[in-house]
Structure 1
Amino acid sequence: MTTDDHSSPDTGPGSTAGAKSGSTTADPRVAVRGEARLEVDPEIARITVTVTARGRDRRTALDDLTQRNNTALQLIKSYGEAVEKLETGNFAISPQLTDKGKNERVRAYQGRVLITAELGDFTALGELTTRLADLELTRVDGPYWALRPDSPVHAQARRQAVHEAVHRAREYADALGSHLTSLIDIADIGANNGALPPPPPPPGAMRAVSYGAPEMAGAPALDLEPQRQTVYANLNARFTMAPPEL
């Protein structure tokens, strides 16, 4: 028996690994797929902050970069427990050359530091993002919404997928005037969510950029709407059922 949802009973005498004692190779089998899809609010938001500096010599560029990096870090840290994680990523300082040729020379140095901040308190997110974007030669990307890796939503989706598999298998057995007798096996074929993607921002994410913009006193906080996350769980399950009277 084959259906459009790829669920089909298996009546062959294949492997009985995992079957309860009492079932035999002659027992009819039913193989089904259990699926779950949940839409939930995000639990965390991540922003990336790129601080840059330029100077005619390496030392000037490095000093300016150090000062701007410290300013950005102090601002982020001032939000206390609202910031759950703060990390410094790539650091680079490199020369910028004139046009290639026999007179090629260094005309300036440019430095860059990448900072990543993760917030669990969304009430502070809009204000922090705006204040960071006000800083000189500072770029802000995000927020990237996500669930925590240990979120109970993942377990909820898996349980729902198991219940769906059992319900679907019982429907097949009932259609044959039979009932399930044992579980043979369950195979997890993937569970994932709309987790945090790397730049560029995913659809629905906000992006704020400020390059060389003058600082604005009392800049209003951005009003951000969290992007709902989709969690999926999928599995295959096989059961034995009592022989039907056809």
Structure 2
Amino acid sequence: MTSLPEEHPAPTADTRRPAPYGTPDAPRIAVRGEAHLEVDPEIARIGVTVSARGKDRRTALDDLTRRNATVLDLLKTYGEAVERLETGSFTIAPELARHGRGERVAAYRGSVHVTAELTDFTALGELTTRLADLDLTRVDGPSWALRPDSPAHRRARRQAVHEAVRRAREYAEALDTTLAALVELADVGADGGPPRPFPAAPGMMRSMTYGAAAEEAAAPLDLEPQRQHVHAQVDARFTMVPPRL
């Protein structure tokens, strides 16, 4: 007895899946919601570069170690005002004589770079002035920023969603109808498309370098925090009740 092959039903289209561009029975609206906030910064970063120079490697290294310890000790005296303290690059290298034959070492030069993040801006002006008052010490900053988990980012995202809903409702009202359902909500660029760029906020970086400590303590700098610009964008798609055209 010969068995007949099983018959498989022909595949049918999934009628439950909405059409990509809507249908007359479920017209689709696509909008973009944007939010722009201007808020106070939460942290300030300063960079400190300590240098040393000596006729031999050991002298340069000893001076560099001493000056680096002085900077770290000063930063640590500000306690919780300095939230993060990191040592970055360290270099020590020979300097060749400009004149004469052969590779003759004239001196050794070294440097250490330290980055500090502060949350107490009242201590910032005094600290930067005291650091700049140290021998062969360069201070760069401050640069202002928000924390990665700042509530300002969440506020901007919520406002962007509300803006998308408001715009979609306006389109629907222009056709004398209403929204029916949310089909999709996504960050701009989440689907693989290029995100819309925003202009970068101007930096607020200052550099101060002193060759020797002043005889009298310098007055603290008056540093005004730079307001931060927070942006958020979302793409949203809705269906609406079919309008009468």
TM-score (norm 1): 0.84
Question: Which residue is 1:41 aligned to?
Answer: 40
Distance 1:245 1:100, change over 3 A: farther
3-state SS of 2:220 partner: coil
Is the deviation greater in 154-163 or in 215-224?
Answer: 215-224
The residue type equivalent to 2:80 in the other structure is E
The separation in 2 between residues aligned to 1:212 and 1:220, in whole angstroms, is 18
Summarize the alignment of residues 85-124 of structure 1 with structure 2, pairs less than 5 Å apart.
Answer: 85-99=84-98, 102-124=101-123
The separation in 2 between residues aligned to 1:109 and 1:224, in whole angstroms, is 36
Question: Which residue is 1:9 aligned to?
Answer: none
CA drift at 1:203: 3.8
Question: Which residue is 1:8 aligned to?
Answer: none
- Do 2:90 and 2:111's aligned partners in 1 also have CA atoms closer than 8 Å? yes
Question: Which residue is 1:5 aligned to?
Answer: none
The separation in 2 between residues aligned to 1:100 and 1:170, in whole angstroms, is 78
3-state SS of 1:233 partner: strand
Question: Which residue is 1:182 aligned to?
Answer: 181
- Do 1:13 and 1:26's aligned partners in 2 also have CA atoms closer than 8 Å? no
CA drift at 1:204: 5.3
3-state SS of 1:244 partner: coil
Flag structure 1 segments of 5+ consecutive residues without an equivalent: 1-11, 17-23
- Do 1:127 and 1:221's aligned partners in 2 also have CA atoms closer than 8 Å? yes
CA drift at 1:155: 0.3
CA drift at 1:232: 0.2
Question: Which residue is 1:29 aligned to?
Answer: 28
- Do 1:92 and 1:111's aligned partners in 2 also have CA atoms closer than 8 Å? yes
Question: Which residue is 1:14 aligned to?
Answer: 20
Summarize the alignment of residues 91-240 of structure 1 with structure 2, pairs less than 5 Å apart.
Answer: 91-99=90-98, 102-189=101-188, 203=202, 205-240=204-239
Question: Which residue is 1:21 aligned to?
Answer: none
The separation in 2 between residues aligned to 1:38 and 1:94, in whole angstroms, is 47
Flag structure 2 segments of 5+ consecutive residues without an equivalent: 1-17, 190-194
The answer to whether structure 1 residue 52 and structure 2 residue 71 are counterparts is no
- Do 1:38 and 1:230's aligned partners in 2 also have CA atoms closer than 8 Å? yes
- Do 2:42 and 2:145's aligned partners in 1 also have CA atoms closer than 8 Å? yes
- Number of matched pairs: 222
The separation in 1 between residues aligned to 2:27 and 2:55, in whole angstroms, is 80
The separation in 2 between residues aligned to 1:149 and 1:162, in whole angstroms, is 20
Distance 1:216 1:244, change over 3 A: farther
Question: Which residue is 1:79 aligned to?
Answer: 78
The answer to whether structure 1 residue 66 and structure 2 residue 93 are counterparts is no
The percent of aligned pairs where both chains have the same amino acid is 67
Is the deviation greater in 83-92 or in 94-103?
Answer: 94-103
Q: Which is greater in Rg? A: 2
3-state SS of 2:134 partner: coil
The separation in 1 between residues aligned to 2:56 and 2:214, in whole angstroms, is 25
The residue type equivalent to 2:40 in the other structure is D
Offset from partner CA, 1:19-60 (integer Å, 9 cap, x none): xxxxx7840000000000000010000000000000000000
- Deviant stretches of 4+, over 4 Å: none
- Do 2:143 and 2:203's aligned partners in 1 also have CA atoms closer than 8 Å? no
Question: Which residue is 1:3 aligned to?
Answer: none
